[in-house]
Structure 1
Amino acid sequence: MLWPLTGAFRLISPDIPGQAGLSAEVPPDRDGGYGRWLLSMLDGLGIERCAMVGISFGGAVVLDAIRLAPLRVERASLIVPAGLEISLWRTLKATLRPWLSYRWHRDDPHFAALMKPLMAEPWPELCQFYQAVLSDLHPPVRVPPGPFSAAELRHFDGAVQLVLARHDLYFEPEALEAAAREALPKLSDILLLDDSHIPGRNSRRELHQRVLAFLADSGR
């Protein structure tokens, strides 16, 4: 998703524990467990403070770390982030029928129908991951930490970038923006992509430019 950042920054992309089918399937405690894991990882890498980019579930992990240790996050780019707002009905309405159909048929056409609300433009590598996870009928992600309130994030004074998607499967963009404005007073850059939760190639090019511009003042 953000590979072009490596041209300008040292990019560390950790494997969040608790994601089905990956390295550590036992999730941390939702009450601070993800934030403590991220801060512990920084300690192990000898990183005292850095900019962070959180995508979807990763946005909630970044916010959990900000809640626990706000001085360790220089600035935060939050891309269609969890951790601020919950739109369960929006997700259920888009996925319930395709999910039930996939559970019954478990074939490629029904898998494609299930993925369409998530990514309007197929991304083969991600599709392979989801198909491997869903082949055992496991949920592809855990419940993220949050939602976090303004009181919980009040000590964070770093700049924040928010990226929204007009056709997001999980979050209604206006509600997510309102929640971010309330909880994060240093919200300085908002980008609305005319795309899905997982953006297509054209949207990713726009996303790369904006994230690079936002991080330009954060050092290397």
Structure 2
Amino acid sequence: MTRDGIYRSASGERAIKRLYGVLLAELEASFERRWIDTRFGKTHVLVTGPNDAPPLVVFHGGNVVNPISLEWFLPLADRFRIYAPDTIGHPGFSAQTRLSPRDESYGAWVVDLLDGLGLERAPMVGPSYGGGIVLRTAAHAPERIQRACLVVPSGLGTGSLRRMLLEIVLPMVAYRLRPSRARLERAVQPMFAEPAAELDETLLEVVGTVFEEVRLERSFPKTATADELSAFDAPTLLAVAEDDVFFPPEVVIPRARATVRNLERVVLLEGESHFPTPDARSALRDQLRSFLTADG
């Protein structure tokens, strides 16, 4: 099941891709850019890290561009060859074919992606929507996942719909109707622990441009069930943020323990929101590094 076309205008698409390039340059790393053919269309992949290092596949959050999430995990490139795809049907350089988050499409897309990259299996990191993609892969092709890191993930239940409506959706609509810096800061503030006024200017510009120029994906990946994941036994780390408006710990942790057979580690980011602060991201990377290298 697919839906085509995510941008509201050609100028909006150009603006998103320009900002993507600005954020990528700010990462100050050397990237190889690959295009992989999948059954749903071409997928653009950023590749970095030593050629002979073990692979690590990093999926990004929904309705944002790849470099925003990749920045969280980029220091892991000292030990891993990182493959970071632009999620198909989301802002970026991949095909605009939007996949259904309710069926097996994302799992099939990941299988095609791994085949195109020549990876039989790999550890995977998925923040937010990307965590849901990892779980869809675990349901569709569990043998392709070596280790799984689910970071503030979708796919394990959601928080209060009323809270999301009041704190996220309505301010976002207000911004789209009458864009202003104050309205943009109000719309994004619930997702961040630090004051929105102190956020990176390019990050805010990307979020605002996405609100204005992209037909947003409005559905999270479906909530995984124990039956779906019955064959998935890869070691799994779950990291949750204490004040996550989308995926609160009190919902996600019990669901993960009831659903994921080999949940080895649960990390609570205290005082954090959906987008962790730089200090929290640094602490999280330490957890990920030890978890991902546990096999030597």
* 1:56 corresponding residue in structure 2: 128
2: CA distance, partners of 1:162 / 1:14: 21
Instruction: Please give the per-residue CA displacement for 1:18-39, whole angstroms capped at 9, x wherever unaligned.
Output: 1146532221233111111111
* 2:193 corresponding residue in structure 1: 120
Q: How many residues align?
A: 218
1: CA distance, partners of 2:106 / 2:215: 21
Distance 1:102 1:70, change over 3 A: same
Please point out which of 91, 94, 98 is paired with 2:167: 94
2: CA distance, partners of 1:162 / 1:45: 26
Q: Say whether residues 1:82 and 2:159 are aligned partners.
A: no
Please point out which of 94, 98, 105 is paired with 1:33: 105
2: CA distance, partners of 1:111 / 1:126: 11
Deviation at 1:142, TM superposition (A): 4.4
Deviation at 1:134, TM superposition (A): 1.3
Say which SS state the counterpart of residue 13 (structure 1) adopts: strand
Distance 1:42 1:218, change over 3 A: farther
Structure with greater proportional strand content:
2
* 1:152 corresponding residue in structure 2: 228
Distance 1:113 1:185, change over 3 A: same
Q: Which has the higher contact order (CA 8 A, sep 6+)?
A: 1
Q: What's the TM-score once normalised by structure 2's chain length?
A: 0.69
1: CA distance, partners of 2:273 / 2:86: 23
Whether the 8 Å CA contact 1:61–1:144 is kept in 2: the answer is no
Say which SS state the counterpart of residue 166 (structure 2) adopts: helix
Whether the 8 Å CA contact 1:36–1:65 is kept in 2: the answer is yes
Q: Say whether residues 1:179 and 2:250 are aligned partners.
A: no
Say which SS state the counterpart of residue 116 (structure 1) adopts: helix
Unpaired segments ≥5 residues, structure 1: none
* 1:200 corresponding residue in structure 2: 277
Deviation at 1:188, TM superposition (A): 1.1
Distance 1:107 1:57, change over 3 A: same
2: CA distance, partners of 1:128 / 1:103: 13
Amino acid at match of 2:112: S
* 1:67 corresponding residue in structure 2: 139
2: CA distance, partners of 1:207 / 1:78: 11
Deviation at 1:125, TM superposition (A): 3.8
Runs of 4+ deviating beyond 6 Å: none
Distance 1:22 1:109, change over 3 A: farther
Q: What's the TM-score once normalised by structure 1's chain length?
A: 0.92
Deviation at 1:90, TM superposition (A): 3.3
Deviation at 1:137, TM superposition (A): 6.6
2: CA distance, partners of 1:147 / 1:86: 9
Deviation at 1:135, TM superposition (A): 2.1
Please point out which of 164, 176, 183 is paired with 1:110: 183
* 1:15 corresponding residue in structure 2: 86
2: CA distance, partners of 1:35 / 1:185: 19
Worse-matched range after superposition: 142-151 or 129-138? 129-138
Whether the 8 Å CA contact 1:51–1:218 is kept in 2: the answer is no
